[in-house]
Amino acid sequence: MEKKKVVLVLMVVFFLCSGAHGNPVENQTPYQIGEVKVTAQKKEENMQEVPMSLDVFSDLAIKDAGIEKTDDLVRLSPNVHMMDRSCEHIVVIRGISPFRGSTYSPAGFYVDDVSYPMHYMQNIELFDLERAEILKGPQGTLYGRNAESGVINLISRQPDNWFQAKVFSEYGNYNTFRSGINVSGPVVKEKLFLGGAFQYRSSDGFLENESDGNDQVAERRHMGGRATLRWTPVERWEISLIADILDADDHGAEGRAVYGLHATDEHKIRSDCDADLNQGWNSQILRIKYDADAFNVLSVSSMMYQTLDKINDCDLWDNPLDRRVNPMDMKERQYSQEVRVSSSQDGPFSWLVGLYGFMEESDFNYRYDILSAGTTYMNPVTDVDADGYAVFGQGTYTFFDRIHLTAGVRFDHQTMEGDLKDAVRQTAYCKSLSYDEILPKFSLAYDVSKDVMTYTSVSKGYMAGGFNWGTTGTEETFCYDPEYTWNYEAGIKSTWLDDRLMANLSAFFIEIEDKQVSQLHPTIAALTISNAAKAHSKGVEMQVQAKPLPGLDLFAGVGFTESRFKEFSATVKEGNAIVQKDYEDNYLTNAPRYSYNVGVQYRSEEGLFGRADLLGTGRFYGDAANTARQDAYELVNLRLGYEQDNFEVFLWAENVFDQQYFTFTTPFLNSILGIDGRPRTFGVTVTLKL
């Protein structure tokens, strides 16, 4: 069945490419795709000249596709997937996924050049953006730690001399409401600019608790805002202060047993716990840019503070004789500073050098309460302090106007200190970690013509080591070391038919060493993290975009990934026995075999708008034993609208055919735990603009 679906996708992609053929006509700019600027390599470049696989979404593309959060965004990027579970939002790029319970995602996540280090932060509301970039493959040279699979870059909109304002409201089924306002413009023309955006979202959710009939057991209440002050005192200087704030109050009940004695139907749970998930964070970013004749200087200073409080049902049932809950409190503070200097003049050699430093303070308070017995099984309270610095540089030299040789390297230093105390288990220990990493990158690109470029590259990435804060084990099992990736990639980027067709293709092979995995300790029977595995991932990605007629856009992307363990002898529990299992050749967790998106969009001069998207996700597994399985599924999204200069109205529907799927699945006792994805949703969005 999967092979038939893959063949169908390739046929659709071929059809889209064929549909773009025709005789080019002079000066038909509505037909042309146009140059897309990105800052993937921390300087402004044409996307088609960057020797890596990446996807870029402008603010208009984000609006047109109805993208509201990060999990919507990644569905439009081949070989990118999000494991979404309550407060865990792990981005999986090219099949590289972390161990269960990891604090960090192997994909870097940046907003205005500032890292959002924990994956708890990464499924954010996407509003008031200039663009979003998804970089694939290790980005350690320019981004450092925890960018071993790729990076998601979000760039917020900067206010300028044009006054802009809009207010929108949206209503959908499940009593879902979203509203917001964006305002920006000059305070002093050519000198001082101010922008602000605010958004509120609420929903009753689509889950029902059969235990008490509550159909708002997964309700959501989110508020977020951003303010930007931009100052250009003279022509060469630009200073921006950006402040973000978020408050989220959710009922977090989601998981259900898929089969067995305690199984429930789709979108129904049985719980005797009023699950809660409350998150809040704020950040402040100061960007100072200076443009000299021969070079540019950029300084990025940031402060960030995040809190997370949650409680959830551990037993997934409403049996009063067995009530278990997991309360957790987390606090995160981060301070960072980066300074970059890059070349600005045209010439055969372009370069960038930089310094980076950070400090992080993380506090975790985790409990496992057995309410029916009136006891607490464990209560590890862990404080982690981390700091580090990096020196990095990258340069590109062009030979004969066609051959581009790029080399870069980063020295990355990090120290960490972890302190764990568990009054229930009467344990306490403290450990210090220190890492020095060299992270190189090399690429060679060749311009076959002005519209076709081929490239090959090799790069190293790493996932930092850390502390096992969620389990009280022993001092030896309290920490784990980094894991490493080497990415080998070759690709071609091309535009055709007078810039009316873009087609990009890449192939990759990734070696993963010292893979971080979770497993039972053979003597204390506690879940621990260790560097006990090797793995590899290989695959291809293709993106196609075409403009055969004015206002008509055709686009498609398809990715295939095979990510497997090369070595992994896991310690697991079977009944009352602890045994060894060989997971060699098993698939890595939450790594779909393929993903694709196929879409068509039309925007007329009279204001009519229509769009259809087909989004496919291949089979993946939720555990290293490959017992919790999500089969391949497809989603269809539709949008129909009418646009004028000052007014827009859109009707939309997502998951039109009400496809059932899980965003997270894992073994649970004698069953499988699953978290249901969004069912069919529909609604209307109205926008007023000035």
Tens digit of each residue's pLDDT (9 = 90 or more) over 61-74: 999 999 999 999 99
pLDDT of residue 27: 42
**pLDDT band at 522; cut points 50, 70, 90:** low
- Rounded CA-CA distance 304/224 in Å is 15
- Rounded CA-CA distance 647/690 in Å is 9
Residues in the chain, overall count: 690
Contact present, 97 and 589 (Cβ < 8 Å): yes
pLDDT of residue 367: 92
- Starting at the edge strand that comes first in sequence, how are the strands of the sheet with 671-676 ordered? 256-257, 671-676, 662-668
Contact present, 316 and 255 (Cβ < 8 Å): yes
The domains located in the chain, with CATH, are 2-689 (2.40.170.20)
**CA 413 vs CA 67, 147, 619: distances in Å:** 37, 15, 38
Question: Would you state the structure tokens that stand for residue 6, as one six-digit string?
Answer: 């893959």
- Rounded CA-CA distance 264/254 in Å is 12
pLDDT of residue 475: 81
Give the tens place of pLDDT for each residue, 305-357. Answer: 999 999 988 888 888 888 999 899 999 999 999 999 999 978 899 999 999 99
pLDDT of residue 11: 44
Contact present, 525 and 573 (Cβ < 8 Å): yes
- Residue bearing tokens 């949008």: 639
Among the listed residues 296, 277, 280, the one whose alpha carbon sits nearest the alpha carbon of residue 288: 296
Contact present, 573 and 59 (Cβ < 8 Å): no
DSSP assigned state of 53:
-
Contact present, 124 and 155 (Cβ < 8 Å): no
- Rounded CA-CA distance 454/100 in Å is 38
- Rounded CA-CA distance 126/109 in Å is 13
Residue 210, sorted as left (phi over 0), alpha (psi -120 to 50) or beta, turns out to be alpha
- Longest Cα–Cα distance of the chain, Å, equals 79
Among the listed residues 604, 611, 502, the one whose alpha carbon sits nearest the alpha carbon of residue 551: 604
**CA 251 vs CA 277, 316, 514: distances in Å:** 6, 15, 37
Per-residue pLDDT at 3 exceeds 60: no
**CA 481 vs CA 107, 138, 175, 380, 391: distances in Å:** 18, 18, 46, 21, 22
Report residue 647: phi and psi, to 5°.
-150, 140
pLDDT of residue 130: 95
Q: Residue 247: CB partners within 8 Å, gap ≥ 6? A: 222, 223, 224, 279, 280
Which ranges of 99-230 would DSSP assign to H, the alpha helix?
140-143
> Strands 276-291 and 295-311: what pairing?
antiparallel
Question: Would you state the structure tokens that stand for residue 49, as one six-digit string?
Answer: 């000249």
Which residues, in sequence order, are bridge partners of residue 114?
A: 111
- Rounded CA-CA distance 81/90 in Å is 8
Q: Which helix (H) or strand (E) holds 640?
A: strand 633-643
Report residue 64: phi and psi, to 5°.
-60, -35
- Residue bearing tokens 């609208």: 641
Within 13 Å and on the Cβ side, how many CA atoms surround 258? 18
Give me the percent of the chain exceeding a pLDDT of 90: 77
CA 53 from centroid of its chain's CA atoms: 16
CA 280 from centroid of its chain's CA atoms: 19
Quick one: 235 exposed, middle or buried, by C-beta within 10 A (0-12, 13-18, 19+)? exposed
- Count of CB atoms situated within 10 Å of the CB of 614: 17
- Rounded CA-CA distance 99/674 in Å is 18
Among the listed residues 52, 46, 141, 44, the one whose alpha carbon sits nearest the alpha carbon of residue 344: 44
Contact present, 20 and 547 (Cβ < 8 Å): yes
- Count of CB atoms situated within 10 Å of the CB of 461: 31
Give the tens place of pLDDT for each residue, 523-548. Answer: 666 778 889 999 999 999 999 999 99
Per-residue pLDDT at 58 exceeds 50: yes
Which ranges of 451-571 would DSSP assign to H, the alpha helix?
none
Q: Which helix (H) or strand (E) holds 3?
A: helix 2-19
Give the tens place of pLDDT for each residue, 552-578. Answer: 999 999 999 999 999 999 888 777 778
pLDDT of residue 477: 84
Q: Which helix (H) or strand (E) holds 557?
A: strand 552-574
**pLDDT band at 12; cut points 50, 70, 90:** very low
**pLDDT band at 180; cut points 50, 70, 90:** very high
pLDDT of residue 609: 97
- Rounded CA-CA distance 350/49 in Å is 13
Per-residue pLDDT at 28 exceeds 70: no
Per-residue pLDDT at 282 exceeds 50: yes
Task: State the pTM of this model.
Answer: 0.93
Contact present, 514 and 501 (Cβ < 8 Å): no
Q: What mean pLDDT is reported for the chain? A: 91
- Count of CB atoms situated within 10 Å of the CB of 673: 20
Question: Would you state the structure tokens that stand for residue 476, as one six-digit string?
Answer: 């030896």
- Count of CB atoms situated within 10 Å of the CB of 290: 15
pLDDT of residue 22: 40
Following DSSP, what letter does each residue of 583-606 receive, concatenated?
-TTPBPTT--SEEEEEEEEEE-TT
- Rounded CA-CA distance 167/150 in Å is 34
Among the listed residues 517, 607, 602, the one whose alpha carbon sits nearest the alpha carbon of residue 565: 517
Q: Which helix (H) or strand (E) holds 15?
A: helix 2-19
pLDDT of residue 91: 95
pLDDT of residue 87: 82
